[in-house]
Amino acid sequence: MIIAIDVGNTNVVIGGFEENELKWKWRISSHQERTPDEWWFFLKDIILTPPEGAIISSVVPGISKNLKLCFERHYSLTPVFLAPGIKTGLSILYDPPTAVGADRIANAVGGIKKYGAPLIIVDFGTAITFDVISEKKEYLGGLIFPGISTASEALFYRAAKLPKVEFGLPSGTIGRNTISSIRNGIFLGFKAMVDGIIREIKEELGEARAIGTGGEGEEISTSSEEIEVYDGDLTLIGLKHIYELNS
């Protein structure tokens, strides 16, 4: 079994692959204070057979270090890290190429492998990222926008009289009370933003498939007029393919 781990600012997503099939996936909160032994205490209950290898993409260095120590100490293997210099099969035209987040590279690789190119990948996480891949499988760049939870929490903390509202599908367009006004505004506002940006990208790039992914993306992706499909496993699929290229 190959273990693929995507470490984000809000969540850590862990998947186990046998051959090319994702057998299981877990999502837990990101805590930098979690020690290598605490990671093992969690992982031993989900990794039931000794792994052949592991690959990690991370935007949180402290978690990366403890996961590396966990695998070395308890599984006798050193994980592959998605970092500058690793083979991805992707031509990166970003300036500089090393500035692209590891999760965005994994998304691009996973998207090309599963859906081909050109592509627009929208990842709904702590930030919403738009990644643009050309027909020649070149990573061209993209956009970064505050994530749904990030923006919602900012509204709650900055507006004294507004309550914290759980994100969800709106009942309509016009809110009839404060709760529905906030919920509708957040959902429809982000949906309009996503569809609008994808259209702008298509005007510049030409036609391309738009794929949604990320922990907060399913509801907006399925309601979007521009996103064709939601694929919550895209990052892990990309990591597994990158592991194969480097093993």
Q: Which residues are catalytic?
A: 103
Please compute, for residue 176, the number of CA atoms within 13 A of its CA located in the half-sphere on the CB side. Answer: 3
Backbone angles phi, psi at 102, to 5 degrees: -60, -40
> Where are the extended beta strands (E) located within 183-246?
209-213, 229-230
CA distance 84 to 234: 20
245 vs 22, 75, 82, 103, 113, CA distance in Å? 18, 22, 11, 17, 12
CA distance 170 to 100: 34
Paired sense of beta strands 229-230 and 209-213, if any: parallel
CA distance 157 to 21: 42
110 vs 42, 81, 96, CA distance in Å? 26, 16, 22
